[in-house]
Amino acid sequence: MNIYLKYNLDKICRVVLQEQLDKFDIKYSLSDSGCVHFYENVPDTTYVRIHQALSSYGIEIIDNKKAILVQKVKASIGRMLDQCDMPLVKISAHLADELGENYRTIAQIFTEVCHVTIENFIILYKIERVKQLLAVNDISLTEISYKMNYSSVAHLSNQFKKITGLTPSTFQKLTRSKRAFKALSN
């Protein structure tokens, strides 16, 4: 036996949204064009839970709130590494404290937007800074490792090799040859 249905998508969406949003203890109103208005600010943890609740219905939040959070994380990491001003606490605790959010939430959103974990991002960022120092300045690897807060030169060398597949000295040599070749061909 077949039965035929006629349905109103708009109404279904509204009902689903209401059902889901009512689970959270927040005041909101629905307007027509797929916009939900919250009367007060939604903390990021709640935001993530709303996002999860809706995504199982194929409803995506179009919002750059995540992008904003990621930007804050990156700025904070940049400050820490550029000014060599490492916090005395763990980076995770520092970020959570500075952004006033749970680290798990921060990490989850970061990976979703950037496709790398915060830990890997920090490593990549540090290695980029090391490369810059290797390419520009005539400073020793020991100095670089000190400047970039590595516990030892060996640790820096290993991490560099692991990320780039090259040793710091090979990288330095290649950068110089590359520059010489470029100058020659121009």
Partner 1 sequence: MYPEKLHILLAEDDQDDHLLFHTVFNHVKINHTLEMCEDGIALMDYLEKSQEKPHIIFLDLTMPGRSGMECLKLIRQNKALSDVTVAIYSSTSVPATVEQAFILGANIYIKKPNEFDDLKKILTEIIYINWQYITEGFNKEHFMINY
**Binding residues for partner 1 (CB under 8 A):** 74, 114-116, 121, 124-125, 128, 131-132, 135, 163-166, 171, 174-175, 177-178, 181-182, 185
The residue among 42 and 114 lying less far from partner 1, judged by its C-beta, is 114
* Contact yes or no for 119/107 (Cβ under 8 A): no
**How far apart, in whole angstroms, are the C-alpha atoms of residue 72 and residue 95?**
9
**How far apart, in whole angstroms, are the C-alpha atoms of residue 47 and residue 99?**
15
The residue among 117 and 142 lying less far from partner 1, judged by its C-beta, is 117
Query: Angle 63-68-26 (CA atoms, 0-180°, nearest 5)?
Result: 55
The residue among 46 and 157 lying less far from partner 1, judged by its C-beta, is 157
Question: 28 pairs with which residues across the strands?
Answer: 38
Residue 174 beta carbon to partner 1: minimum distance, rounded to whole angstroms: 5
Residue 139 beta carbon to partner 1: minimum distance, rounded to whole angstroms: 16
Phi, psi of 30 (to 5 degrees): -100, 130
Residue 176 beta carbon to partner 1: minimum distance, rounded to whole angstroms: 10
